[in-house]
Amino acid sequence: MRQNRPSPEPPVMTWRKAGPVLAVAGLFDAGQIFFQLFWFFGPALAAIYCTSTATDWVGSLWGLTASACGLVGVAAGVAASAVTIPFGVVMAMAVGLTGFLSLGLWIVRTNARIFKANATGALWFGGSLVISELPLIGALPALSLVLWKLYRTQIRVEGKAHAKWKKEQAETLRQEREQQTARLMRIQTAQVAEADQQAANEAVYAEDANDEIPEEVRRAA
Residue 139 DSSP one-character state: G
Q: Where are the alpha helices (DSSP H) in the chain?
A: 15-36, 38-53, 56-61, 66-71, 73-110, 114-117, 121-132, 142-212, 215-220
| pTM metric for this prediction | 0.67
Asked if 3 contacts 179 with a C-beta cutoff of 8 angstroms, the reply is yes
Q: What's the pLDDT at 133?
A: 87
**Residue 56 pLDDT:** 47
Looking at residue 148, its pLDDT comes to: 96
DSSP annotation string for 171-184: HHHHHHHHHHHHHH
pLDDT of 22 reads 96
The whole-number pLDDT of residue 145 equals 95
Cα–Cα distances (Å) from 211 to 65, 69, 94, 204, 214, in that order, read 143, 139, 110, 11, 8
Whether residue 13 contacts residue 162, with contact meaning beta carbons closer than 8 Å, is answered with no
Q: From the first residue on, what is the mean pLDDT of each consecutive set of 10 residues in the chain (221 residues)? A: 66 94 96 84 60 50 47 54 77 93 95 92 92 86 94 94 88 82 82 74 61 53 52
